[in-house]
Amino acid sequence: MSSVIVLGHSFIRRLDDSLTGSWTNLGFDPDQLQVLCLGKSGGKIPNLDARFISDTIQQVQPSVVLLQIGGNDLDCADNVRVKGTLVTDLFSIAQWLVTGFGIKRVGFLKLLYRRTTRVTPVTIYNENVDFVNSALIQRCMGSTVCFFWRHKGYLKICVGTVSTCLLRGCASTYILCVEQFYMA
């Protein structure tokens, strides 16, 4: 049986709470694939519990680890510096997973826009999300181990009265009615 670990912040914890016992709804065959979500509310890269993650990886021995982290890191007073270092930090985690545990593939899940933030103004936060996602896509293009995961159904995201179409990764701004929200 293959195993996948999804590592992240509260979004992953809530995903695990919502999908416990219903992974087949996503097309996963529980006889073929074990999915384990490790989500920590308020989680940021500096406070990842490396010991717990290490122990879990050694126990589960996943072939793939998916990372949905970095969003909470961007919501800080020092967001300009964090925006500039986040991709390198994420690739350092991927390197640790591959060289330290023999993980075959590491996926970076698309960072999501937010309607509200705690520290960074929401428009700046969402611009930083675009910057980091674009940089992750570029870095993954040259990798045989790392990949970028665009969330399906992530077509229109509202930021105030401006929606951004993210179909096929293109960012074109329109003044539209809000159609769908897929925000943490």
Task: Identify the pLDDT of residue 139.
Answer: 96
Write down the pTM of the prediction.
0.79
Number of compact structural domains in the chain: 1
Q: Which of 83, 54, 64 is nearest to 146 (CA)?
A: 64
Q: What is the CATH number of the domain that holds 38?
A: 3.40.50.1110
Residue 7 lies in a domain: yes
Residue 103 and residue 63 in contact, taking contact as beta carbons nearer than 8 Å: yes
Residue 43 lies in a domain: yes
Task: Identify the pLDDT of residue 19.
Answer: 66
Taking only the tens of pLDDT, the chain with its 184 residues reads 788 999 998 888 777 776 665 555 456 677 788 888 898 888 899 988 899 999 999 999 999 999 999 999 999 999 999 999 999 999 999 999 999 999 999 999 999 999 999 999 999 999 999 999 999 999 999 899 999 998 765 443 333 333 333 333 333 332 222 233 333 3
Residue 179 lies in a domain: no
Residue 170 lies in a domain: no
Residue 94 and residue 139 in contact, taking contact as beta carbons nearer than 8 Å: no
Task: Identify the pLDDT of residue 105.
Answer: 94
Residue 173 lies in a domain: no
Residue 146 lies in a domain: yes
Domain that holds residue 22: 2-152
Residue 83 and residue 125 in contact, taking contact as beta carbons nearer than 8 Å: no
Tokens standing for residue 83: 């925006």
Task: Identify the pLDDT of residue 114.
Answer: 93
> 3-class SS at 149?
strand
Residue 29 lies in a domain: yes
Task: Identify the pLDDT of residue 16.
Answer: 72
The 10 Å Cβ neighbour count of residue 90 is 23
Number of residues that this document lists for the chain: 184
Q: Hunting for tokens 């040259």 — which residue is that? A: 142
Task: Identify the pLDDT of residue 130.
Answer: 95
Residue 39 lies in a domain: yes
Distance CA 17, CA 12 (A): 9
